[in-house]
Chain A
Amino acid sequence: MVFRNFHHSRVSRLYIALLAVVWAAGAQAAFAASEVKAPDPVLAQLNARLKAHPDDLDALAERARVFDAAGQPMNAFLDRRKILAQRPGDLDLARVAAYDLAAAGAPKAAAVFLEQYPGALSGERAPNLSRQLAGDVAARRVRWGWDEPVFDPAERRHEASAAIEALEAMHQKDPGDARATGDLILAYRLADRMKDVIALWEHAVHRQDAPYWLRNAAADAYLAVHRPAEAETLYRSFAVERAGEPQPWLGLYWSAIEQRHYGDAEKALARLAKIPGQEQTAEIQRGWLLLFQDRTAEGQACFEALFRQFPGDRRVREGLATAYLWQGLPRQGLMSVDEVLARTTLDVPRVDNPAARISRAGALATLGDLGEARREADDLVALYPENIHAQRLRRDIHTQLAPEVRLEGRYDTSDRGLGEEWNQLEVSAPLGTRTRLAAGAYDSRADDQRYSRGDVREAYLGMSLRPDRWLSLNAEVAWDIARQDFRRSPAADLRAALLPDDRWRVDLGYARDTWRDLPLRARALGIDADTYDAGLSYTAGTRWDARLGGGRSNLSDGNERTWGLAAAHLLVRQGPVYRANFGIEVYTSQDSRTDVAYFSPARDRSASLTHRSEWVTANAPGHRHSFSLLVTAGVYDEQGFAAGPVGGLWLESDWDLSGRTALVVGAGARSQLYDGTRELDPRFYLTLRRRF
């Protein structure tokens, strides 16, 4: 979820594209107008007159006026320059000629031109002219900054800094200078200084009749700082006025997504799709919308369909790569992101794709390569200090590499409905980027004092290691500190997970002299166990999964217990607020001894249907909350007893409180058969995790 980083950069790109489109449209219109214009008879007359009398200053002045009126400022400047050559003291004319140059697109040249006429820069009208030229130069830098493609992020920052420096001085000198204020907002927007955009907008503009491009810049800033309602208001304010352009619709789309108003986002996309040339953009955004709605399977299908049609389109590739990542297919996603990066980045000259790099870092972190992910995140933040997605990525990765304290308390039932209260405290800290060391303690207390010898008081040391993408290792040593006379050896537990690809997983475990997970009555007898277990699972994205597992324990009283299980789950509903899956689970176990009370009877088996419903009530970076309802219903068959129905129901609430603190609270009950007798077992648990 932390990799939803695209909208900001996409809004920027869109903004740039739009400026280019607006500019190109303007240029085209001007060009078309000039193409169809018939020769001006007045101009023809003046040309003829000046051909005969090249020094006719009146004719030159008249022609300059005609050129001005015809939108040919450079031609006007050239005529006025000729007049000035004859009348160098005409400072008003010098100022007009300078305006001509500025209008022609040469404000710097106009400033240099005026240096030849120092008197033109003094007097009543001079400040206006100087300000206009300075403003033109600054505004031009803002436009240069928006121009695409920019292959080196430093270049764009350079343009923004140069413009901001000039425009801040102008704004401070004359806060009422509307043009300087507007351009300064654009310059801040270019530099991604969104808080400055908002401050200036609210302080100096904040009008519904402000030019649409100013409202657009302010809306972008509100969106970037997660104030989508204010952004939406501003986008709506020019949606009618600019209905034929994509800005308002994409703005509304993003602000609707931020507010989780996905229906409104769909409506905005429908309007976008009606704009000629925007159909493909709308289709691509539809894929993103599905992803943002957590309908990742549909999002993937949407992008795969687009990929069949437009396999060379980088936006489609980026969407598909993200769909893979959000579907829990990190390797496939990483491969796709790597291909996008290979197609869109270069070392020299520096051509970058920060959005794809953020995705890549996320995939690397998922695959356990936190060192590389951290390097990438640090580099991105250094390159794009204002990019909140890069900052969030770095924060998330640093959080993953932070020490953690975990506190858990639960009330559960052990064998034959014997209630137990459990507490756990664990402190873990990273050792490098692939290893985490943990130390902790367990404490349990049985409700039934007859079995208090089975209470667990245990201290343990653990280590988890991810040496490579395909391998995960865990080891733990535990000491019994219960001061009972069991004389237990330290328990050891080794686990390995083989992860050959995104879908398959093989788990292998070996535990020696362990007691913690044995039934209470077995622990009370001082029994411990050596256990081998293995599991195989297949996960097809979020859509379905299946697993198969089995194991064998040799208990110290000579009992040998084997068990096996098979399970499969299918996602039937996936959406932004609600998701549901159904599953089936089959279990069987067998003991070699029939006379042990703690596993009685010696053979049992069960088959259950499971269901999980999850409601997501809040979902923002650093703040997520969901409720889950878990239901099981099945048949339990014990050797020697009639089979009967069993079931359970739990409610669970998961909170991500700040990106560093997580809280899980759950409660429920289970109806279980023990030797033919039905018992209702309550269950409650609470886990608090905090990273520092």
Chain B
Amino acid sequence: MRSRMLTTLLPILVLGAALAGFPAAAAPLGLAWGVVAEPATAGALTPGQVAEHLEFLQAHGWRAVRTGDAGTGGGERSMVLSFDDPASALRYVVPLLALYRMPAVVTVGPAQAEDPALAPVLQELAASPWVELVPRVEEEAGAAVPAVRCGAAAEPGPEGRPEERLSRLARTLAAQVARLRELTGVAPAAVAWAPGTWSGSVEAVADSLGLKVQLPAFPGMPPALEPPRVALYRVPPWAGVWALVQASVHWDPRDHPVRFVEVEAAWICAGGDPEARIARVVEVVRRLGLNGARILPGGAAGAWFETSAAPVRGDVAGPLARALRAAGVRWVMADLPAAGGNRGRDVTLAADLARAADFDVVVLPAAAVPGDPLGQAVRYVRPAARLAWRQGGREGERAFRLAPLAPGQAESRGLTVGATTVAAADTEAERFTVAGWEWIGLPVELAEAGLKISLRSLAAFALSSALSR
């Protein structure tokens, strides 16, 4: 346990200061397109759509930059354009890039790099002055998704250990880098990350291979990252031009305001089938149209995620977060337990919690301050995670404030209502809404009780996608 704590702590202490906190200067806007096809096919964009996007960006003063420039900020209204399908990018996009005089990145996954049929395509792309080839990291094929578990578990096999996974990534990525160097004559300096693959530890692996500019992709609105990181918004096939602008300001109308359900991880294992309980949480989310979930994952006395710093009661936080994400929840939050006085153990708990799932928001204890090692540990593992701090004061620790989402934006305030009856909870939520609190949630049991009465009884929590039946 001690050695594992050290492996967690050391990189954090080294890199923590650089990784924590809010970006001093935002990186360029990053946009990633998938397959481009004519005629239109399912899941693909047409060349006309891509052309319209590019013309829109150009007409509004956006300037495409290369990753080298992006790594140092790129300047006002700069952007990194990225295409994930080399074949269609070569056929349809490169001619457009040449006409618009816009440089772009074409990302190459491990299978694409090794595909002999794609070799001529990659060679032609490498010859284009408008294209920069960079490796793309994807989810490991066949990686097992852990199921919810109540109770302690046996040690994972060697292939499941984080160190092993990092080693495999290092090997794969090194092969991709070598292949691209062979094609272009120069080693790539940037690396793209498919959604859900990016973390602080894998970034350290990429960095060790000379890949200094990180291009993590996000299926929703991308977070604001500090150069040399550029968050890529994966442009969906249905996206209109304004989706690009929304990505530039990190705003999606579906993401605001935030109404969340709060779930104690222990509740999932409080009786009966835990999967059924997760399904109940998902049902609450669906009925109220919620876009957030707050998970209370336990602490030093007993954690509901894999950790070496506390007795493990079960593995709930990760599977629950994934189930909620799959149900369309945009903001998955987790509360770090209150500091227990043992700094090393608290930091390990924070890092292990962040490792358990790709949380969007991690709520730190009230005592934590910006730059605190707990926040650094979280941001090391999940650099895109947004930090929040629990409050004291009249609202108590159920309230929190969130760091701004992007430069120029204000802090947000949130809380889980403290009322114990449905009517009082609804009134409380309405009051806080009008007072400017943007993130408001309610415990899952109260939500279920309210839904038994009527959707109207929880009107202050319902969002536009709420279902009356």
Contacts and interface: CB of A to CB of B under 8 A. Distances in A.
A338 interface: yes
Given A74-B92, A108-B55, A109-B55, 12 more contacts: A27-B40, A30-B39, A30-B40, A78-B95, A101-B51, A108-B59, A150-B242, A308-B455, A312-B288, A339-B433, A342-B257, A348-B410
Given A72-B39, A112-B99, A339 B434 contact: yes
Nearest to A334: B434
A388 B456 CA distance: 35
B130 interface: no
A14 B450 CA distance: 34
Nearest to A346: B256
A311 B455 contact: yes
Interface stretch (B41-49, B103-111, B149-157): B41-49
B251 A346 contact: yes
Given A109-B96, A335-B434, A35 B289 contact: no
Contacts of B182: none
A34 B40 contact: yes
Contacts of B39: 30, 34, 37, 70-72
A151 B249 CA distance: 10
Interface stretch (A140-148, A215-223, A286-294, A555-563): A140-148
B7 interface: no
A312 B336 CA distance: 31
B52 A140 contact: yes
Nearest to B253: A149
Contacts of B463: 312
A72 B430 contact: no
B240 interface: yes
B185 interface: no
Contacts of A104: 38, 46-48, 51
Contact of A149 (B47, B51, B99, B242): B242
Contacts of A314: 464
B241 interface: yes
B167 interface: no
Contact of A338 (B42, B92, B256, B434): B434
13 contacts: A30-B40, A31-B42, A74-B48, A101-B51, A104-B46, A106-B48, A106-B99, A109-B51, A308-B454, A339-B460, A343-B256, A349-B251, A351-B251
Given A35-B42, A108-B100, A307-B459, A312 B56 contact: no
A27 B40 CA distance: 9
Contacts of B253: 149, 151, 351
Contacts of B468: 308-310
A75 interface: yes
Interface in B416-450: 430, 433-434, 436, 438
Interface residues of B, number: 54
Nearest to B48: A105
A37 B41 CA distance: 11
Nearest to A342: B433
B208 interface: no
B91 interface: yes
Nearest to B40: A31
Contact of A144 (B56, B100, B257, B459): B56
Interface residues of A, number: 55
A480 B256 CA distance: 64
A346 B438 CA distance: 10
A347 B410 contact: yes
A83 to B, nearest CB: 14
Nearest to A115: B99
A312 B465 contact: yes
A425 B48 CA distance: 72
Interface string A671-691: 000000000000000000000
A112 B38 CA distance: 22
A196 B35 CA distance: 43
B3 interface: no
B409 interface: yes
Given A151-B251, A342-B257, A348-B409, A105 B42 contact: no
B465 A74 contact: no
Contacts of B40: 27, 30-31, 34
A101 to B, nearest CB: 8
Nearest to A349: B249
A155 B245 contact: yes
A313 interface: yes
A81 interface: yes
A106 B51 contact: yes
Contacts of B172: none
B152 to A, nearest CB: 41
Given A74-B48, A308-B456, A310-B466, A141 B249 contact: no
- Sort A-B residue pairs by CB-CB distance and give the 4 closest, nearest first: A105-B48, A106-B51, A311-B459, A34-B39
Contacts of A27: 40
A311 B42 contact: no
Nearest to B436: A342
A311 B459 CA distance: 5
A81 B95 contact: yes
A15 B246 CA distance: 21
B42 to A, nearest CB: 7
A339 B48 CA distance: 41
Interface in B384-441: 408-410, 430, 433-434, 436, 438
A7 B298 CA distance: 52
B47 A74 contact: yes
Interface string B202-222: 000000000000000000000
B100 A109 contact: yes
Interface in A135-171: 137, 140-141, 144, 147-151, 155, 162
A342 B58 contact: no
A6 interface: no
Contacts of B96: 106, 109
Contact of A312 (B240, B249, B466): B466
B385 to A, nearest CB: 21
A419 B190 CA distance: 97
A338 B257 CA distance: 13
Contact of B455 (A71, A162, A309): A309
B288 to A, nearest CB: 8
Contact of A75 (B38, B59, B240, B241): B38
Residue among A70, A148, A312, A347 with the most chain B CB within 10 A? A312
Nearest to A32: B40
Given A140-B55, A149-B242, A311 B434 contact: no
A310 B459 CA distance: 9
A144 B257 CA distance: 26
A598 interface: no
A582 interface: no
Interface string A79-112: 0010000000000000000000100111111001
Interface string A3-43: 00000000000000000100010010011001101000000
Contacts of B409: 347-348
A311 B466 contact: yes
B377 interface: no
A113 interface: yes
B462 interface: yes
A347 B409 CA distance: 8
A20 B251 CA distance: 20
B151 to A, nearest CB: 38
A151 B243 CA distance: 11
B458 interface: yes
Interface in B8-64: 38-42, 46-49, 51-52, 55-56, 58-59
B47 A106 contact: yes
A285 B441 CA distance: 31
